[in-house]
Every structure is written in structure tokens, then in C-alpha cells.
Amino acid sequence: MVSHNILKKYFEQLETGLKNKLESKVTARRKFVYEIARIGSRIFENDWSIAWTTVFVPYEILNSMSVSGMFVEFFGAMLAGTGMSSKYLNLSESKGFSTDSCSYHRTIIGAAMDGLLPEPDVLIGASIPCNGGVKALKRIGEIFDKDVFILNIPIEVTPDAIDYLTDQYKEMIKYVENETGRKLDYDKLKKTIKYNNQARGYLIEANNLCKNVPCPANSNDLKNFIIYVLLQGTEESVEVAKLFRDEFKFRVENGLTGLSEEKFRLMWIQNRIQFKTDILDILEEKFGANIVIDELNHIWWEPMDESQPLKSLANRMITHPIVGPVERRLEVITQLAQEYKIDGAVNPAHWGCRQTAGARVLFKDALQKIGIPLIHLDVDCVDQRNYAPGQIMTRLEAFLEMLSNY
């Protein structure tokens, strides 16, 4: 067993290190990671309660209640990035968790078993994107003898469905109030919507700037930007979004590009590979291949109504492209491919992910219709134990060679 003090130290050191770097030079990426590190640190502060969640829960509500949310997939990714996932995968597997399930989830279950996670005050799981995430949260809850509040995300966009999810958010607030003793500050919640709308505007601008050929960003600038959800509805989220917009705008206006010579523009589907690997560096340096858009970085929702925060949040969730029949997602993938003028798409097809594996053939079909090739890497994005970099690189090289003849 380890102590969660290790985690506390990790976030503190990350925060301090980035703070020092920010004092010498502010970059959007640096500021972004710094703010995430601050969220990591604050789970150990008395002013905040802790929520372990799945990825798609309304952090605006939690932030308004001084509850620091952490989603399990982020944590699995972070442990992979620090080289600790193998230890926790071994541990959870030794207790009977199947190697066919998602390694993001198995990693955090192992970490919870080992005592790395601080005790949550609340656990909140949403039915989207997957049942596996809710199940993982249930198992983590059992370790702390706590149950999980489940949000059922309706799969059709109808007024009734939005009301249903809004009512569930109200129930969730009651649950968090009961468990933490922290009351929702409704004015604060309204303010989160205002921040969200401001940040949304900047992010759309930043993304649009990446449509330039060549792209002002490189493959790493907006890597794993999905974790931005942790900041949603905060003043800091607006600062981060504005920094990205300003940085990309400056680069475009000054003829600066993400890569010195951009030969291939790629779209990445779903999540990146989380453990340390140099494949993206090789792709950039050797082949001039740049990831100009990540599917999950797309801003899909309309501006939100400050006077109806819960309904607006419900509407944003239900209209997410990953909710409901795959057509919605295919439409977005196709739209992104065209708008960002990509040459090819990469789907890691993360082992254990029913969303990417289940729809893989449909991704390929949809992109083929508009003449864009797609490669499925069939890689486990968190479990490094069976990773064969040579094999993956060979396939990517062949893919890029094919693109050059396309």
C-alpha cells in the first residue's frame, strides 16, 4: 500500500515547477497544464471536497459547490504518462479484473486498491460514454464503502430528454449537498455559464485558426485537451482558452507554423496514446505529419443560457456527438476532416474501448466516402506492457507512404 501523500506531492511539484516556468514565459500549453495541476493539488485542500467521476459530468455544478472533480480516465492517463500504470494494471488484474476491459479503468481501480487515491466525498458516474466507467467507479466506491450517483444520459435530443437530465442534475445537487454539506451557490453557477460562453468563443477561434494550412499548432499543443472539462466554468478556463487563441493568432499573423514543413495533416480520433512514446515526434520530424485536429477537441454546443444553467448544461450533454446513434459522431468526424483539410485520420482503436472498436468500420466507411484514408492502430493507449513501437511505426510509415501517393 502507498499513501495518497505521493499524489499530493506529485501535484504540488508539478504546480510549483510550472509556476516557475510561467514566471519566465507564459505559453498556453504551460498555463493549461498548470491549471490542471492546481485542480490536482486542491483535492487535498480543506476548502474543497473531492468527487471521483466519469468524464462527462457537469463540472460547472461541482465547481460552483467547491467540489473538485477528477475523472477516472484522466487519472488512468496521468498514471500512464508517469509510467505507473503497469504496476496498477498488474494489481487490478491479480484481483480478477479482465485484461479485455479498458486499461484506463483498470489502472485507476488498481491505484485505488493500492491507497493512492484520497477518499472521495462523492462519486458520480454518467452512462455516456460507457458502462465500463460507471462500473469502475462502483468498484472504487466499494473500496471506500460509498455508493455512486448515476446520471443516465438520454440518447435522443428531445425536450423531454433535456428535462429528464435537468431533473437528474437537480437530484445530483441534492446528493452532493447531503454528502458534503456544501450548498450550491446559484449565482456562482450562473457565472460558470458566463465563463463557459466566453471560453467557448475563444476555443472556437483557436480551433478555427488550426484550419490554416500550414497549421499554427503542432501535434502536442492541444494533446489531451479533453481534460479541459475539469476547468469548465471557471475564470481560469477563459484565460487558458484566450491564451490558445492569442498564441495561434500570433503565429498565423506572423507566418509561424506548428511544424517547419507540414507535409501531412492528420486527424486523431478519440484519445491519444498516454504513456511516453516518441511516435508523434518521429511523425513530425521525419515525415512532416501533423495532428491538426483531435476529434474530441471539437466544440459542438451552442452558447448557453445564463438564466437556465441546468437546462443549458443538460442540452450541451445530450447534444454531444458521442451520445446516441453513431451518425452524429460520423457527421462531426466528416465535417472536421473537410474543414481542417486533413490528408488522413488515425484511430488508435484503444483496446477495451467499445466505442472506438464497435464503430471502427463505420469511421472508415464515412471517411472513405470523402476520400480520406483512416488507419486503426489497435493499440492499448494506457497499457505499455504489450506495446510494440516498431510495429506501430512500420504501420504508420506505410500509411503515410500511401497518403503521399493518394
Q: Which residues bind another protein (CB under 8 A)?
A: 95-98, 100-102, 105, 127, 130-132, 134-136, 138-139, 142, 148-152, 154-156, 160, 164, 167-168, 171, 324-327, 354-355, 357-359, 361-362, 365
Minimum distance, C-beta of residue 161 to another protein, in the bound complex (Å): 8
Q: How far apart are CA 153 and CA 161, in angstroms?
A: 8
| Residue closer to another protein, measured from CB, 216 or 321 | 321
| Residue closer to another protein, measured from CB, 220 or 355 | 355
Rounded alpha-carbon distances, angstroms, from residue 246 to 57, 119, 239, 249, 262 = 29, 39, 10, 5, 21
| Residue closer to another protein, measured from CB, 80 or 136 | 136
Q: Strand 67-71 relative to strand 49-53: parallel, antiparallel, unpaired?
A: parallel
Q: How far apart are CA 396 and CA 38, in angstroms?
A: 36
Give 126's strand partners.
151
Minimum distance, C-beta of residue 64 to another protein, in the bound complex (Å): 21
28-42 and 5-24 are packed helices; what angle lies between their axes, rounded to 10 degrees?
A: 150
What are the φ/ψ torsions at residue 304 (nearest 5 degrees)?
Answer: -100, 155
Minimum distance, C-beta of residue 293 to another protein, in the bound complex (Å): 23
Minimum distance, C-beta of residue 347 to another protein, in the bound complex (Å): 14
Give 106's strand partners.
none
Q: 10 Å Cβ neighbour count for 143?
A: 14
321 neighbors 336 (Cβ within 8 angstroms)? no
Minimum distance, C-beta of residue 170 to another protein, in the bound complex (Å): 9
| Residue closer to another protein, measured from CB, 101 or 196 | 101
| Residue closer to another protein, measured from CB, 351 or 399 | 351
380 neighbors 83 (Cβ within 8 angstroms)? no
240 neighbors 28 (Cβ within 8 angstroms)? yes
| Residue closer to another protein, measured from CB, 252 or 362 | 362
| Residue closer to another protein, measured from CB, 164 or 301 | 164
Minimum distance, C-beta of residue 250 to another protein, in the bound complex (Å): 42
**Residue position matching grid coordinates 500504470:** 85
Cβ partners under 8 Å of residue 398, min gap 6: none
Minimum distance, C-beta of residue 125 to another protein, in the bound complex (Å): 8
Helix extents (H) in 101-259 = 103-113, 131-143, 159-180, 186-209, 235-253
Q: How far apart are CA 356 and CA 380, in angstroms?
A: 12
Minimum distance, C-beta of residue 130 to another protein, in the bound complex (Å): 7
| Residue closer to another protein, measured from CB, 96 or 371 | 96
